[in-house]
Amino acid sequence: MERPVSLSAGEWRIMEHLWENFPRTLTELVRELSPGTGWSKSTIVTMVGRLEAKGAVTYTERGRARQYEPAIPREQAALVETESLLRRVYRGSVGMMVNTLADGRGLSDRDIEELSAVLEKARRDRK
């Protein structure tokens, strides 16, 4: 895996949008994101610049506009964030994290089935 990229909450919002809708120009991003976020054009330009510096987005020159698209898959970004959360909050313990979820909000039958399937796949993949 390439260098891990950590994203702020705002950067996640932009990346989620780009993962679903790319390529996008800055003008398109401002038009599509401003109404739901209240962000100004300069805020979006700054955040896209940060994402570019982190290696999370890339662009192609198309005439006078840059067409931005994700440079990392969503799964890679999610893994980095999940590992960070696990280390910071649960001292690296997956069991503690799952126990907190089970105690805090309860797990539905569907949640338990999904967890069981994930654990069974992990067991099979280790062999």
pLDDT tens digits, one per residue of 18-34: 999 999 999 999 999 99
Number of domains in the chain: 2
Q: Say if residue 57 is in the same domain as residue 8.
A: yes
Cβ-based neighbour number of residue 102 at 10 Å? 13
Does the model's pTM come out above 0.85? no
Full residue range of the structural domain in which residue 98 is found: 93-127
How large is the average pLDDT for residues 106-115? 90
What does the DSSP assignment read for 61-122? Answer: EETTEEEEEESS-HHHHHHHHHHHHHHHHHTT-HHHHHHHHHHHT---HHHHHHHHHHHHHH
How large is the average pLDDT for residues 76-90? 94
Q: Say if residue 102 is in the same domain as residue 84.
A: no
Q: What percent of the chain has pLDDT over 70?
A: 98
In angstroms, the CA 97 to CA 95 distance is: 5
How large is the average pLDDT for residues 63-72? 96
Q: Say if residue 76 is in the same domain as residue 98.
A: no
Q: Say if residue 116 is in the same domain as residue 102.
A: yes
- Residue 86, class by beta-carbon neighbours within 10 Å (0-12 exposed, 13-18 middle, 19+ buried)? middle
User: Residue 2: pLDDT band by 50, 70, 90 thresholds?
Assistant: low
